[in-house]
Amino acid sequence: MPEYAVPEYAVVHEKPRSFYSLYERKPELQHQTHYCPGCGHGIAHKLIARAIDELGIQDRTVMISPVGCSVFAYYYFDTGNVQVAHGRAPAVATAVKRSRPESIVLAYQGDGDLAAIGAAEIVHAANRGEPFTVIFINNGIYGMTGGQMAPTTLLGRKTTTTPFGRNAWNEGYPLRVCELLASLEAPVYIERVALGGNRQIMKAAGAVRRAIENQVKGLGFSLVEILSPCPTIWKMNPVEAQRLVLGEMTEAFPLGVFRDRTKSATVRPAAPPAPPLAEIPRILGLTEGCESTPSQPAGSSDWRIRVAGFGGQGVLMLGEILIEAGLEAGLDVSWLPSYGPEMRSGTSNCHVRLSSGPIDSPLVSRPNVLLALNEPSLRKFLPTVAPRGWVFYNGTQLPDGCERPDVQAVVRPFTEIADRVGDPRAANMTMLGALLGATGMLTEERVLTALRRKVSSGRWLEIDQRALDSGIEAVIKGVSHES
Amino acid sequence: MTALDRGIVALDSEECKGCGLCIEACPPKVLSLRRLLNRYGYRPAVYAGSGCTGCGICFFVCPEPGAITVLRRGGGACQNN
Ligand SMILES: Cc1ncc(C[n+]2csc(CCOP(=O)(O)OP(=O)(O)O)c2C)c(N)n1
Ligand code: SF4
Ligand code: SF4
Ligand code: SF4
């Protein structure tokens, strides 16, 4: 920022401090925003940044930037930021405000974002009276994607999706968001302002400041709708676009205060603090099997497991029992079922991780344990198994072409063993037993606790327990065909 | 120049995008677009050099965060807001 040292003169208006001095977006454009010349987003940004400066809240402000032309707001505001999915700013703002009540949360949204894809989000956030501030930029169009109709598009206006002009019979009427939200009980402050020239802009500055100040005072939901020019998509020069805001837009969307309960509103009580983690099982009524607090596993482990078979063999269930038991043992776990078109033609598989450290990705592309309940699964996944990994196969011997001398193979007729103890469909549990017996990955107790939690039928619980035991025996005693 | 102007406006020709909103809004019409393009290919706004009242209107209508800085003689509150 250049210094203007002119004797007798003092700076009265300059770039607000809440903007970065340089923008990191592109090396060659650190001095310029990405907005088109004359875009209303720039003016709205300036009004917000000034209000942040004036209220002295820069270090606790969190902007929630949307999808739309203002997606890059985080390059400009030197505040906290979360850039969120299209239309979801009110949901994320709710989360940020509830978990950090001392922060000042500003949800910045376009009209496609707020009034189309995010219409449900804003209605419910307003109805709950979430105590954050929404700055709603209404430029009557989808700017970023090249000019499709927005719910706020004026009647008769041609857009790429209303090539003959917006027709009320076909596309409905311009949606008046302030009026809609003002029918709700909870909002504290709702005002519509515009950027059609300096008089309107000065008024907008006051409204933006008030909406933010309400939050600083701990009052409830505040929203300012700003009628804003988009010269590029409107195919006008910036001066003409500004006149359209002042004229046609202001006629269709009357300016004014639609709700002001700032005087009578009481400071909203902060959300109660979250209960300690250890209390959660009790609150959720998960006391059964939770008497033992999860213990830290001895030593480090990182099991990357792929379970595969045909539909009905209990592949996904095997994975679920594994992670439930892993959680019980205090491990970090993940379970990712792999749904694909092949599911319908028979085979299914899941990715399971049990780790004593944090899990970076739930995908298991290089397993150190493969549980193959049928031959096609073995053929498909055997080549992916890491050297010295484990392979459990449901059969009497490895089929031709499945030699991997560098892995440890446990081959047993798991379906037959399950049939002997009650039901061939418990083959997944005999294989799980073998896994425990061979690797010592988890204790049988942990797995039994998991089973009791997951299997509601008493008859099946019994069968599964017997199947688990016989699977363990099958490896320890070397029952049936050794490989 | 007989008396000092009430205001001075400083324009950053590399941040300005030549939208013309300040020119349209300035009451004494002391701003105009330069003929020479800036580095980005825009014709930036320039100050005539005298006649600024320091009203600050150009600052508020300008969409660029730091393209305009307004100074006023002796500082003080703005009459227009
Ligand atoms: C879930 C999802 N759906 C659609 C899109 C495509 N999309 C990006 S921006 C946009 C509209 C933005 O319009 P608006 O909110 O009015 O903001 P403007 O660009 O006009 O400032 C759409 C539909 C997307 N990114 N994500
Ligand atoms: S397309 Fe419209 S809303 Fe988007 S940056 Fe350009 S002028 Fe602004
Ligand atoms: S401060 Fe007022 S008078 Fe001076 S250039 Fe800006 S708009 Fe014109
Ligand atoms: S309003 Fe700002 S960007 Fe537009 S011409 Fe004036 S100084 Fe340049």
User: Residues A10, A69: contact at Cβ < 8 Å?
Assistant: no
Does the pLDDT of residue A470 top 90, yes or no? yes
Does the pLDDT of residue B79 top 50, yes or no? no
Task: Identify the band that residue B12 occupies on the pLDDT scale cut at 50, 70 and 90.
Answer: very high
Task: Identify the band that residue A288 occupies on the pLDDT scale cut at 50, 70 and 90.
Answer: low
Strand partners, A348: A309
Q: Which of A19, A50, A198 to mutate to test the interface with B (most CBs of B within 10 A)?
A: A198
Q: Quick one: average pLDDT of A305-320?
A: 91
Task: Identify the band that residue A298 occupies on the pLDDT scale cut at 50, 70 and 90.
Answer: low
Instruction: Report the pLDDT value the prediction gives residue A285, as an integer from 0 to 100.
Output: 82
Torsion of CA B12, B17, B18, B20, to 10 degrees: -100
% of chain A beyond a pLDDT of 70: 93
Q: Can you tell me the distance from the alpha carbon of B41 to that of A186, in angstroms, rounded to the nearest whole number?
A: 49
Domain chopping of chain B, boundaries: 7-72
In this complex, do A238 and B20 lie within 8 Å of one another by their Cβ atoms?
yes
Output the average pLDDT for chain A: 92
Instruction: Report the pLDDT value the prediction gives residue B81, as an integer from 0 to 100.
Output: 39
Instruction: Report the pLDDT value the prediction gives residue A341, as an integer from 0 to 100.
Output: 54
Report the SS3 class of residue A136.
Answer: strand
Instruction: Report the pLDDT value the prediction gives residue A340, as an integer from 0 to 100.
Output: 58
Q: How is A76-87 classified by DSSP, letter by letter?
A: TB-SEEEE-STT
Does the pLDDT of residue A473 top 60, yes or no? yes
Task: Identify the band that residue A312 occupies on the pLDDT scale cut at 50, 70 and 90.
Answer: confident
Q: Quick one: average pLDDT of A382-403?
A: 93
Does the pLDDT of residue A481 top 50, yes or no? no
Report the SS3 class of residue A395.
Answer: coil
Q: Which residues of A225-261 are buried (b: 16+ CB within 10 A; e: fewer)?
A: bbbbbbbbbbebebbebbbbbbebbbebbebeebbbb
Instruction: Report the pLDDT value the prediction gives residue A286, as an integer from 0 to 100.
Output: 78
Q: What residue has token string 């007989």?
A: B2
- Residues contacting A99, CB < 8 A, separation 6+: none
Instruction: Report the pLDDT value the prediction gives residue A33, as an integer from 0 to 100.
Output: 94
Q: Can you tell me the distance from the alpha carbon of A455 to that of A321, in angstroms, rounded to the nearest whole number?
A: 10
Q: Quick one: average pLDDT of A277-291?
A: 75
Q: Other C-beta atoms within 10 Å of A332: how many?
A: 15
Q: Can you tell me the distance from the alpha carbon of A392 to that of A410, in angstroms, rounded to the nearest whole number?
A: 5
Query: Does the domain formed by A40-260 have CATH 3.40.50.970?
Result: yes
Task: Identify the band that residue B1 occupies on the pLDDT scale cut at 50, 70 and 90.
Answer: very low
Of ligand 1's listed atoms, the one at least distance from the Cα of A70 is 21
**pLDDT tens profile A110-152:** 999 999 999 999 999 999 999 999 999 999 999 999 999 999 9
> For the domain bounded by A302-476, which CATH number is listed?
3.40.920.10
User: Residues A370, A381: contact at Cβ < 8 Å?
Assistant: yes
Q: Can you tell me the distance from the alpha carbon of A463 to that of A424, in angstroms, rounded to the nearest whole number?
A: 10
Reading the block at residue A475, the tokens are 């490896």
User: Residues B57, B72: contact at Cβ < 8 Å?
Assistant: no
Q: Closest by alpha carbon to A121, among A90, A98, A150, A145?
A: A90
CA distances from A456 to A103, A312, A320, A323, A461 (A): 45, 18, 14, 18, 7
A16 at the B interface (CB within 8 A)? yes
Extended strands (E) in A219-296: 222-227, 256-260
Of ligand 2's listed atoms, the one at least distance from the Cα of A38 is 7
A330 at the B interface (CB within 8 A)? no
Does the pLDDT of residue A429 top 60, yes or no? yes
Residues of B with CB under 8 A from a CB of A: 4, 7-8, 10, 12, 14-15, 17-21, 24-25, 40, 42, 54, 56-57, 59-66, 68-76, 78, 80-81
Q: Quick one: average pLDDT of A260-278?
A: 84
Does the pLDDT of residue B2 top 60, yes or no? no
Q: How far is B46 from chain A (nearest CA, A)?
A: 16
Does the pLDDT of residue A297 top 90, yes or no? no
By DSSP bridging, strand B7-11 and strand B68-73 are antiparallel
Q: What residue has token string 């073995």?
A: A378
Reading the block at residue A153, the tokens are 């598009």
Instruction: Report the pLDDT value the prediction gives residue A4, as an integer from 0 to 100.
Output: 59
Does the pLDDT of residue A109 top 50, yes or no? yes
Q: Quick one: average pLDDT of B19-32?
A: 98
**pLDDT tens profile A219-262:** 999 999 999 999 999 999 999 999 999 999 999 999 999 999 99
- Residues contacting A479, CB < 8 A, separation 6+: A412, A417, A470, A473
CA distances from A393 to A379, A401, A424, A438, A483 (A): 11, 14, 15, 13, 10
**pLDDT tens profile A41-89:** 999 999 999 999 999 999 999 999 999 999 999 999 999 999 999 999 9
Class in CATH terms, B7-72: alpha beta
**pLDDT tens profile A144-187:** 999 999 999 999 999 999 999 999 999 999 999 999 999 999 99
**pLDDT tens profile A435-450:** 999 999 999 999 999 9
In this complex, do B20 and A8 lie within 8 Å of one another by their Cβ atoms?
no
B18 lines ligand 4 (CB under 6 A): yes
Q: Other C-beta atoms within 10 Å of A25: how many?
A: 15
Q: Which residues of chain A are in CATH 3.40.50.970 domains? A: 40-260
Does the pLDDT of residue A270 top 90, yes or no? no
**pLDDT tens profile B37-74:** 998 889 999 999 999 999 999 999 999 999 999 999 98
Phi, psi at A100, each rounded to 5°: -130, 75
Instruction: Report the pLDDT value the prediction gives residue B76, as an integer from 0 to 100.
Output: 62
Which residues form the pocket of ligand 2, taking CB atoms under 6 Å from any ligand atom? A 35-36, 39, 41, 69, 139, 143, 230-233
Report the SS3 class of residue A429.
Answer: helix
